[in-house]
Chain A
Amino acid sequence: MPAWRWLRFVRGTSLRRIAPWLLLLLALVAVRLSKGAVLADAYAFLTRPFWPGTAQAEWLRSARRVEDGVRLAQLERDNQRLRSLLDLQKENPNRVTAPVISRNGAGWWQQLLLGQGAISGIRAGQAVLGPGGLVGLVASVTPTTASVTLLTDPRSRVGVWVGRTQHHGLLTGIGTARPLLRFLEKDPQARPGDVVVTSPASTLVPPNLPVGVIQSIDANADPAPEAVVQLIAPISALDWVQVQVR
């Protein structure tokens, strides 16, 4: 068949027939590039009647008081040290309370979807706290939703330190319910039961937020000791969380 016949074939009815499919494909690509903006917003809109009730709000507040006690002790100790240094990062207590509208604590992607988004001031990178401590960081936002990467997700890396010994490490998700704390020193002097809080040196998260408790330590791990950390916040039972907005 001569080449000009193909041209006529494409220009004719076939083009009109495939045009809607091309438009659909473009729309799907747009959804992909926008990180599911339309989809997540539609899901939030549709599931709004089924969002968790406000009963847990009081529970969250009382848990916040316990968390504040732990933080206060840590902050007082840290304050002595910081007085002699430059004020690197000022703490801002502004928090937005958001319902958890989708929870995926296991699987390939361990994340939460929150029912508050950019309209409420939430931005990517902000810390998300459950009752007891940090649960993850905001990965992406749409106008009415925010996607949170949990600390247990292998993509999560958060700078922490053991408050008692003041040795730093990197809290690393490994796909299980308990993340791994990889120390940066050969002799971290940590022991099971030590409380792990966010590092004051971290530029990603606010300092001294409670994270978890060391459950076991592998002192012979290569290249540096590792510790299994039990998170304080119960990720599998979260209905409401707070996002620390800057």
Chain B
Amino acid sequence: MELLTRQPRLAATALLVPLLALASPGWLTLDGVAPCWAVLWLLPWALSDGPVSGAFTGLGLGLLLDGLHAGAVTQVPALMLLGWWWGRMGRRAPPIQRSFSLGLLALLGSALLGISLMLQWALLDWFGVREAAQLAGPVAGSTLERHGVNPALLALPGWRWDDLAGAGVQVLLAQTLITALLAPMLCSLQLLLWRQLGSGWRR
């Protein structure tokens, strides 16, 4: 946790993550989906600075990114878990720095983050459908009920099961792939920078 405690100003570079998520250059997308910038920043930071720092910065990043999106789902648990996991991995010898390893870790991290969001939406959908089914009687008035259409179910906002299975999987795959492709280049540079600046550099 040397970077975070001795040079906390470096953690301010995490502010680039929400700014990049907002700027989201159109040419740096796959099927219109931007890479997961949080994973690309958190992976080298956690590998260099350990599990506590990784989890803490994961918490901070998650709070910042959640602020940009309206809705009930959160990225905090997945980012904290990833920060902790990658931090523990970075403490073990030999240090992870090969392009393939970084790409693979970014791929797993991006997939885990996406799956955590999908699970939250699926749960919200499940609870929403149950609630709507209870409301169906009074809401679905005589004509609509006779035709078998339940407007309470149609009006439920958020990702539905069938949306997640269609467009959701597409977004997950595209984001995972573009993040994994960028990770070797971006994470290697950051890893080098953080290890040189911190005292966690191991030869």
Contact = CB atoms under 8 A, between A and B. Distances in A.
The interface centre, meaning the residue of B69, B117, B163, B174 with most chain A CB atoms within 10 A of its CB, is B69
Given A31-B67, A184-B151, A224-B147, A175 B22 contact: no
Contact of B24 (A25, A39, A102, A108): A102
B167 interface: yes
B60 interface: yes
A182 B148 CA distance: 13
B93 interface: no
B71 A109 contact: yes
B184 interface: no
A24 B60 CA distance: 9
Contacts of A35: 67-68, 70
Interface string A158-170: 0000000000001
Contacts, number: 129
A113 B21 CA distance: 11
Interface stretch (B43-51, B98-106, B152-160, B188-196): B152-160
Interface string A28-42: 110111111101101
A155 B71 contact: yes
Nearest to B167: A175
Interface in A16-72: 20-21, 24-25, 28-29, 31-37, 39-40, 42-43, 46-47
B77 interface: no
Contact of B168 (A33, A40, A175, A186): A175
Given A43-B22, A154-B159, A155-B71, A170 B64 contact: no
Contact of B114 (A108, A174, A182): A108
Interface residues of B, number: 48
Contacts of A31: 63-64, 67
A140 B68 CA distance: 10
A47 B41 CA distance: 21
Contact of A140 (B70, B147, B159): B70
A46 B16 CA distance: 12
Given A174-B167, A175-B163, A32 B66 contact: yes
A40 B70 contact: no
B71 A154 contact: no
Given A39-B18, A175-B171, 4 more contacts: A28-B60, A39-B64, A184-B147, A224-B148
8 tightest A-B contacts by CB? A175-B167, A36-B67, A106-B32, A28-B63, A32-B63, A102-B22, A139-B70, A154-B159
Interface of A: 20-21, 24-25, 28-29, 31-37, 39-40, 42-43, 46-47, 101-109, 111, 113, 139-140, 147, 149, 154-157, 170, 172, 174-176, 182, 184-186, 223-224, 236
